């Protein structure tokens, strides 16, 4: 297992549509192991493969609070098959948009169909923070970020801030 570097805005790979996984083989399982380790280290509650630079339709999520009781869920090729009309608001953050947070409205509940770690088809109903996180991660697979739901002004301010931070870091490194 290995901890990978997390890609941040404004890297254009985050805007790519991730590709369908044809088979959950050893290589994909290895990638899922690395994603989980990278997510725990960050720390975050979810991670899409594209966030470590690999545009494949893979997501890992663990919303459990207790560090000693890990409860990871692996999603390959996840698809929303139902979403509630009722919305819920959560303060969202993203490992690819460091230190930026905003309240986002999304369907409160959803059903997601996916392949699990062993390549078996599963369907799961989710609500609350898990439903929000699943939708945030599926957005990543389609090149969508939570800042896309903000006003153009708010979004531009965040992108500008992160671009500036990156440039300053480059200057220090060089």
133 in contact with Ni ion (CB under 5 A): no
Q: Which of residues 136-165 bind ligand GNR (CB under 6 A)?
A: 136-137, 140
How many CB atoms within 10 Å of residue 48?
A: 30
Minimum CB–partner distance for residue 113 and ligand GNR (Å): 20
Partner that binds at residue 32, options ligand GNR, Ni ion, none, CB closer than 5 to 8 Å by kind:
none
Query: 24 or 141, CB closer to ligand GNR?
Result: 141
**Residue of 27, 127, 137, 168 marked catalytic:** 137
Which span (18-26, 45-53, 74-82, 153-161) binds ligand GNR, by CB under 6 A? 45-53
**Non-local CB neighbours of 49 within 8 Å, separated by 6+ positions:** 18, 31, 35, 55, 56, 57, 58, 59
CA–CA distance from 98 to each of 7, 42, 43, 117, 124 (Å)?
A: 10, 11, 12, 28, 30
Tokens (6 digits) for 129: 């923070």
Q: Give the residue from 123, 137, 110 showing the smallest Cα distance to 44.
A: 137
137 is a catalytic site residue: yes
Catalytic residues: 137
Contacting positions for ligand GNR (CB under 6 A): 44-48, 51, 90, 92-96, 132-133, 136-137, 140
């Amino acid at each position: 297992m290995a901890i990978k570097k997390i890609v941040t805005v404004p890297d254009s790979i985050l805007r790519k549509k991730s590709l369908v996984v044809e088979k959950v083989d050893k290589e994909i399982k290895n990638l899922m192991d690395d994603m989980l380790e990278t997510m725990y280290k960050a720390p975050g509650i979810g991670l899409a493969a594209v966030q470590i630079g690999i545009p494949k339709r893979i997501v890992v999520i663990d919303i459990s609070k207790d560090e000693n009781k890990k409860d990871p869920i692996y999603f390959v090729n996840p698809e929303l098959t139902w979403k509630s009309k009722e919305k819920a608001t959560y303060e969202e953050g993203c490992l690819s948009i460091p230190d930026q947070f905003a309240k986002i409205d999304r369907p409160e509940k959803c059903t997601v169909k996916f392949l699990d770690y062993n390549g078996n088809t599963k369907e799961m109903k989710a609500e609350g923070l898990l439903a929000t996180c699943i939708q945030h991660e599926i957005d990543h697979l389609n090149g969508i970020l939570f800042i896309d739901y903000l006003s153009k002004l708010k979004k531009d301010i965040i992108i500008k801030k992160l671009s500036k931070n990156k440039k300053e870091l480059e200057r220090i490194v060089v």
